[in-house]
Structure 1
Amino acid sequence: MCLDNLVSLDQRSLYQMLVNIRSQGQDSDSNYGLSNCSDTNWEALNGECLELRCSPGKTLKAGTCTSIFQDIKGLVYRVRALLVFTDNDCASKYLTNSILLDLAELQIKQDISTRSDGYIYEVGVAQEWNRTVTDRATPVLWADIYVLASRLLTRDSFENIALDIFFGSRYKLGGNTFVYYNLLTEAISSFTNKSGLKRGNIGVDKAYIDFLILGLKHSLTVSSTLTCSFLTFQQTNFTVQWNKFNEVENILVTLDVGGTKLNISNMSDFNSMEVTRNNELHVCAKILDKYVKKSRESRNVNRPMNEALNILTYACMGASELCLLLTLVTYLAFPELRTVPGINNMFLSLSLLLAQLALILASNSYGPSTLCTCIGIVTHFLWLWHFTWSFLCSLHMFRVFTAKIPSHVTKDDNFWLRLLKLTSVSLLGPVLIVTAVVVYSYVTSKTIGYGQYLCYLDSSSSIGVSVVAPVCLVSFCNLIFLAITIASIHQVNALLTFVSVKIDQYHNLVLYVKLSSVTGAFWIVTIVAEVGDIDVLRILAILFNGLQGVSIFISYICNPRVYHLYFKRSPQQTSSAPPTTETLD
């Protein structure tokens, strides 16, 4: 398990999302929601993986607690709660306590009579919890209810219904709204002055009442811990503080979570907690996620740098997208540019254009959802496709430069067949990697591996294996190609006497150096920057990687040949051309 919805657009650059292999515990400023823990564990701020548990008789599968035996029925449950009025201008202050208790008793019977085979209850006025509203105190009621679940409902069904009745709804009582709040401990409940006590019991028949009484000592407490995955805290790792002479909100639960202190005081959050008979505290993981997120935000002292990195990233990517679009338009406009290396450059530009757009979309989308999962898969695939084309372009130019007899690329009769094969090869690697991630994730955790926490890969280990490793491999190969090519150029130039050939060789070498620098070395800088958390390297990586499209545009479009092609296509040049009766193919 991991922190839900912790993506924040003002946190670091988009490239951290792309190649982030650091765990949450290592990066206290990161809000990207990635975890190195399994689905049966929860990751603390210090990176420690803590075991998630379920209510007795349930098992955790794919992040959900379900009953091991689906036909279990007739369990006994206990509801120990306060009935707190939520309206400041409430009618309850004009009603006597006796009338309010009668109304509360009626509401309790109405809520559970049709869902149980019997119940025993006590209800009263909690004097210490009275709330001051305008000119007089508004009473707070308490209820202690034991319920024998209906034999017509499965355990999971009854528990979902009970949670909705007591902690998922608001009720009208005496003209105003009230809600149930879970009383965490027996100690707080016993300290409550139970004035105006009312008792009652109802059962279908005596046998059910007897069974209910027998089950009182083994009852399950009604709270969200019945259905959620939760963490267990020993008595030494939490405290529950309450000043019974103060208002109802003055309860404070302090947790020690992996060395971090978390303070919980919101009464509604107590509905997702339980103190057991063994004095252990169970807290739903979703509640911990919320408070850990607050802790992260309060500890984020590097926000100005994060915002600057994001502004720089979006500015560079915007320029890159524009240049890539102009590059594609140029290649499409002039057939003479669509040679083998020209087609390679087109696919390189197209893959980078789509990959950068997908990354921006993924960073602005939220999960979990089917759409988020699809965006994550597409983003991963497109970046792998781009890295594959950067490798193929580098490999092609390496073969051209190291050929025994240097020559210009000519038209090939099998051009389209070669293009089809090359395109198939470029798709094969990304498809295999994405498929492997999906299969492995499903086998190990019954998930797809994408879109559970953000619209990308779900874990930093998956990013390391399926993104960082391929990037390092491609970058390493490109740098080797560059080194061998430079050595080969020096050897060839020692033998050549034609100046034009030398100029052409050096011209192409300059282009190759530019291409290799943006598709190889600086991706390594990005990875080092994220692993080492070095902002200076992040800035350099954003400049060079974010401006890849600009570099490709300058390298292959900004040259005299393309200028001449545009000049010939210009309206002035076309209007000055002599009339002709021939048709151009």
Structure 2
Amino acid sequence: MTTELVHAIDKPLSFLKSVRRSFTIYLKSILNIQKVTVTSSVFLANSICAENITRQNGTKLNISLYRKFVIREYVERSNLEEKLISLQNGYFVVRYGRKQYNFKLFKNVEALAAESHISTLRYLQRCFLKRITRTKDSYVYSHVNKLLLCKQIEFDTTEFNIRFSKLIVLSTKIELDYDEYAIMSSGKARICLKTFRKMLAEDKHEGINVWGIIEVTCACTSLVCLVVTFITYCVFPTLRTLPGKINMCLVFAMFHGHALFYFILYVSRPQVACLIIGTLLHYFWLVIFGCLNVCSFHMYQAFSSETVVVFSEVKRLCMYIAYSYGVPAIIVSSNVLFTYIYSDKQTFGYAGDMCFLNHQLSFVFSFIVPITLICCTNVFFFTTTVMQIVKRPKLENEGQIKLNRIHTAIYLKLFSVTGISWLLQIIDTFLPMSVFSRIVSVLNDLQGMFIFWSFICNKRIFNLYLKSCRSNLNKTVKEIAEQETKSIELTTSKQEE
């Protein structure tokens, strides 16, 4: 619900109580009922309770409302359901003090998730009221949406996916808003028959989903490129230097992170699988940035550090792996533990449309903050390294220094592309689906291809493969020649006998 402020509000919490009281009266009046029991109610405003709401031209107060209620009297159901649906475009008046405020009701996806976020509302800098009534009786609730009045059809769990509160029909890629479908206790989805027929008509006119083909092609190609890159490092021992092993750790994490992300996008999954995949996705995304942080630190140490490294290569590699893979494990475990405790043992913190962090504080402190810190340190490491490279004289016999320069340039490009694409991805999560979303998806899909192009598509790797092919060819020719020689000797010995 929303209203344009005509007066300043000096006590927001008291005003919110007046809104709740006025809405209850309005609801009973519209539905023509008296015996109503509210079992759950959340009023969440877009203002802060501790501060007065000042009035300026065009200032609006938005309140997200979520309410469960039970009607304890006989009613005409069809008539009641029509009135409930009509509430979405209704108006009601709130009198506060000697002033009057006109509120307009409209559907709001934030209100739909308000109850599931009750345990974390006290940490938000927003004014809210919540009320939960414990009853001995159990009820089956029905969402107020279009499905109350229409004939329905049912989708199996393998025929749809849910993303950002929208139901995506996998066969047509058509998206339905949150009030156009209902999820049953079996996990199946129901939509109106009229909506389904409209979908079929739209699908006939849309033709080929070009963006979908592009995204799937880039995603599959990227995963294949990551696999080929990892295999290349496994095949050639000369590539498995310390930077090479760091690259292998990065490629391993990136493959699993992207594979899990694509699985969430294109495959339907039950709740338990959603929890496991969301946890692993969170972990591997943090590992990716941890590996990039190790790359930048290693290059920084190679060019800028004045201290002599006393650790062996094996110990340094173990320290790098412990940091890039261990610290994310601690962050993810801590998030699961704290979320489980502060939600009164109701959730582990991974659910929702993308099977990812479904609490704002968890998302900020266990994902945004670590990535921001890593990006800031990477900027420092790369800036210092580049300055040292510019100052260092270029000598012809500096083979290792030259190789380090190449690695630094690659890591700098890699960090830039990866950091920018993930930044755009995070921004896109707060925006509706658009062409920008498609472009961001393609950029993320191309990360594996960029890794392959940076580390594998060069003259050195080509020569290694060429040398290996020649060696295998010579070995095969030699084996064939030896077999022919043995055959000739055997034939000669038989003739002599």
Q: TM-score range by the shorter chain?
A: 0.5 to 0.7
Equivalent pair of 2:283/2:332 in contact (CA under 8 Å): yes
Partner of 2:488: none
Larger radius of gyration: 1
Residues 303 and 388 in structure 2, CA contact (< 8 A), matched pair in contact too? yes
Partner of 1:392: 294
1:504 Cα offset (Å): 4.5
Q: Secondary structure at the match of 1:320?
A: helix
Q: Deviations over 1:525-571 (max 9, x none)?
A: 33345546695654554444321211111221222222222222213
1:522–1:544 Cα contact (<8 Å) kept: yes
Unpaired runs of 5+ in structure 1?
1-38, 57-76, 81-181, 189-237, 242-251, 263-281, 581-585
With over 3 angstroms needed to count, the CA separation of the structure-2 counterparts of 1:340 and 1:40, relative to structure 1, is farther
Corresponding residue number in structure 2 for 1:259: 105
* Structure 2 residue 448 is the aligned partner of structure 1 residue 549: yes
Which residues in structure 2 correspond to 1:242-391 (within 5 Å)?
A: 253-256=85-88, 259-260=105-106, 284=141, 286-288=143-145, 293-294=178-179, 310-366=212-268, 369-391=271-293
User: What is the aligned counterpart of 2:426 among 523, 527, 538?
Assistant: 527
Q: Give the direction of change, closer, same or farther, for the CA distance of 1:255–1:523 in structure 2 (3 Å limit).
A: same
Tell me the residue number matched to 1:224.
none
| Corresponding position: 1:574 with 2:475 | yes
CA distance in 2, matches of 1:482, 1:443: 40
1:482 aligns with 2:482: no
Change (3 A) 1:405 1:315: farther
Is the 8 Å Cα contact of residues 222 and 446 (structure 2) preserved in structure 1? yes
Shift in CA distance, 572/529, structure 1 to aligned 2, threshold 3 Å: same
Q: Is 1:385–1:430's contact at 8 Å kept on the other side of the alignment?
A: yes
Query: Which of residues 320, 330, 334 is equivalent to 1:432?
Result: 330
Q: Which has the higher strand share?
A: 1
Q: Deviations over 1:501-546 (max 9, x none)?
A: 6855653343233222233233223334554669565455444432
Q: Is the 8 A contact 1:567 1:573 kept in 2?
A: no
**Aligned pair partner of 1:50 in 56, 65, 71:** 65
Post-superposition offset of 1:385: 1.7
Residue 350 of structure 2 aligns to a residue in which SS? coil
* Counterpart in the other structure of 2:362: 462
* Alpha carbons of structure 1 residues 419 and 41: separation in structure 2 relative to 1, 3 Å: farther
Letter of the 1:345 counterpart: N
- Tell me which protein shows more helix as a share of its residues: 2
Code of the residue aligned with 2:465 in structure 1: it is Y
**Percent identity among equivalent residues?**
26
CA contact (8 A) 1:475 1:524 kept: no
Q: Does the residue aligned with 1:558 lie in a helix, a strand or coil? A: coil
Report the alpha carbon displacement of residue 184 of structure 1 after superposing the two structures with TM.
3.8
Structure 2 match to 1:442? 340
TM-score by length of 1: 0.48
Deviations 1:78-122 (A, max 9, x none): 6x4xxxxxxxxxxxxxxxxxxxxxxxxxxxxxxxxxxxxxxxxxx
Shift of 1:55: 5.5
CA offsets, 1:202-253, max 9 Å, x none? xxxxxxxxxxxxxxxxxxxxxxxxxxxxxxxxxxxx9956xxxxxxxxxx85
How much does 1:479 deviate? Answer: 2.7
Pair 1:374–1:497, CA change in 2 (3 A):
closer
2:358 maps to amino acid? D
Q: Residue 395 of structure 1 contacts residue 481 of structure 1 at CA under 8 Å; is this kept in 2? A: yes
In structure 2, give the amino acid aligned to 1:545. N
CA distance in structure 1 between the aligned counterparts of 2:63 and 2:414, rounded to whole angstroms: 42
Q: 2:146, 2:358 → 1: CA distance?
A: 16
Q: How many residue pairs were aligned?
A: 331
Deviation track 1:473-495 (CA, whole Å, cap 9, x = no partner) reads 333332332222221111113xx
The normalised TM-score by structure 2 is 0.55
Q: Does the 8 Å CA contact 2:85/2:146 hold for their aligned counterparts?
A: no
Q: Distance in 1 between matches of 2:405 and 2:246?
A: 20
Shift of 1:464: 3.5
The aligned amino acid for 1:183 is E
Q: Does the aligned pair in 2 maintain the 1:514–1:551 contact within 8 Å? A: no
**Quick one: distance in 2 between partners of 1:47 and 1:460?**
19
SS of equivalent residue, structure 2 residue 382: helix
| Alignment pair present for 1:422 and 2:302 | no
Answer whether contact 1:525 1:537 (CA < 8 A) is retained. no
Q: CA deviation at 1:377?
A: 1.3
SS in 2 for 1:434: helix
Alignment of 1:24-423 (within 5 A): 41=42, 48-53=63-68, 80=74, 183-184=76-77, 253-256=85-88, 259-260=105-106, 284=141, 286-288=143-145, 293-294=178-179, 310-366=212-268, 369-404=271-306, 414-423=312-321
Displacement, 1:362?
Answer: 2.0
Secondary structure of 1:477's counterpart equals: helix
Q: Return closer, same or farther for 1:346/1:480 CA change in 2, 3 Å cut-off.
A: same
Separation of aligned partners in 2, 1:259 and 1:519: 42
Q: 1:49–1:546: structure 2 CA closer, same or farther, 3 Å change rule?
A: same
- Residues 1:290 and 1:511: Cα distance change in structure 2 (over 3 Å): farther
| Partner residue in 1 for 2:461 | 562
SS at match of 1:49: strand
The 8 Å contact of residues 452 and 458 in structure 1, kept in 2 or not, is answered as yes
The letter of the residue matching 2:419 is G
2:356 aligned counterpart, secondary structure = coil
User: d(CA) in 1 for partners of 2:146 and 2:322?
Assistant: 43
Unaligned 5+ segments in structure 2 are: 1-39, 46-60, 90-103, 109-138, 149-176, 182-190, 483-497
Higher relative contact order by CA 8 Å / sep ≥ 6: 1 or 2?
Answer: 1
- Per the TM alignment, residue 470 of structure 1 is displaced from its structure 2 partner at its CA by 2.8
CA shift, 1:433, in A, is: 2.1
The offset of 1:449, in angstroms, is 1.4
Contact 1:320 1:549 in 2 (8 A): yes
Q: Supply the distance in 2 between the matched residues of 1:454 and 1:531 (Cα, whole angstroms).
A: 13
Distance 1:480 1:497, change over 3 A: same
Query: How far apart are 1:323 and its partner, in Å?
Result: 0.6
